[in-house]
Amino acid sequence: MQAHAPSCAGVIRTDASTVHIAFVRPGAHELYAQGREDFLSPATCLSVGFDLRACLDAATTSVAPRCRIAVPTGISIQPQSPDVAGLLYSRSGLGARDGLTVAQGVGVIDPDYTGEILVILLNTSDEERRVQRGDRIAQLVFQPIVRPRWQETPSLQTTKRGPGGFGHTGKQ
């Protein structure tokens, strides 16, 4: 388990948005608290993501090569602002070193979803991978969400890029 994060007082501001957290599996509170009161502390003062941990019933589980597995985190969250969503991202070291990534690329936790966060891990390697209870398996990042007012128009304004697709901006 990781040592507790340094104090970030005065380094980065905390958003005024409150997010409720519920520990929904036995032992989940202990996995995240680790003697602290701030539960999901970032690893450093400028870390964007909050590490989510495997809250397995057993000590370990395995992920076969090129297969997926749903890993429970033991927590549910509820942002108190309807304009904030949680996004699940892969942990870069876990993906680069072991080939374990968030299966769908990015997982979206809508502000009205109150169930347990499950991380679908995909083993992109050719070897079986083991996940242990308490392992950091994904990052949770909160982002503001913009809900546009759609306005139909017969055409869009002309731009330098225009309708050019993949790789188009690299061609000058």
Cα–Cα dist 154/140, whole Å: 40
Domains delineated in the chain: 20-146 (2.70.40.10)
* DSSP-based three-state secondary structure for 75: strand
Residue 172: is it exposed, middle or buried by C-beta count within 10 angstroms (0-12/13-18/19+)?
exposed
- From first to last of its 172 residues, the chain has per-residue pLDDT tens of 444 445 555 555 555 688 999 999 999 999 998 766 667 777 788 888 999 999 999 999 999 999 999 999 999 999 999 999 999 999 988 988 999 999 989 999 999 999 999 999 999 999 999 999 999 999 999 999 999 999 999 999 998 888 877 776 666 5
Give the pLDDT of residue 1: 42
